[in-house]
Amino acid sequence: MATSMAGLGAGPGAKVAQINVTPMIDILLVLLIVFMVIVPMMPRGLPALLPQTPKAETHTRAERAVVIQAISHPGARPSYAINGAAVAHEAILARLTEIYANRADRVLFVAGDDQVKFADVADLIDLGRAAKVDRIGLLTPGSRLVE
């Protein structure tokens, strides 16, 4: 009686136990179809609008900045200028209100000479607050606005 390794212990008419793979293939095919249907409907991310640069913007940040200067005069009250244009002290509030009437960025820079008293600079800050300016920066002598 010659037996082979494959049929070791299995005689004629013996049943051989094998895994039935047909149900597993059916399950895999169903899962494949389900994932093929679900994946295209899954959101890929949030839609985002990126900020765009204005096409015809001609003004730089330094050009749009509003700078009010207190220019000292020995023995007299300082003179004032807004962006280089001379302004009387009484007209500063009206001029600032006019400038910031239609502006989204409400930033004011206050510059003073070395000889200007701090009370005069503080007065300019108060006038800026009265004109509804959101942020006020101080410029020291020799400083300049950078774009």
When pLDDT is averaged across residues 83-102 and rounded to a whole number, the result is 89
What average pLDDT does the segment 125-135 reach?
Answer: 89
Alpha-carbon gap, residue 59 to 48, rounded angstroms? 27
Domain count, the chain: 1
pTM, full prediction: 0.55
Q: Which pLDDT score, from 0 to 100, does residue 31 have?
A: 93
The answer to whether 110 touches 80, Cβ cutoff 8 Å, is: no
Residue 39 has what pLDDT? 80
Question: Residue 72 maps to which CATH number?
Answer: 3.30.420.270
Rg of the chain on CA atoms, in Å: 41
Residue-number span of the structural domain to which 83 is assigned = 61-139
pLDDT at 147: 46
With cut-offs at 50, 70 and 90, classify the pLDDT of residue 29: very high
Question: What pLDDT does 146 receive?
Answer: 55
Mean pLDDT confidence for 56-84: 76
What are the tokens at 4?
Answer: 């082979």
**Is the pLDDT confidence value at 20 over 90?**
no
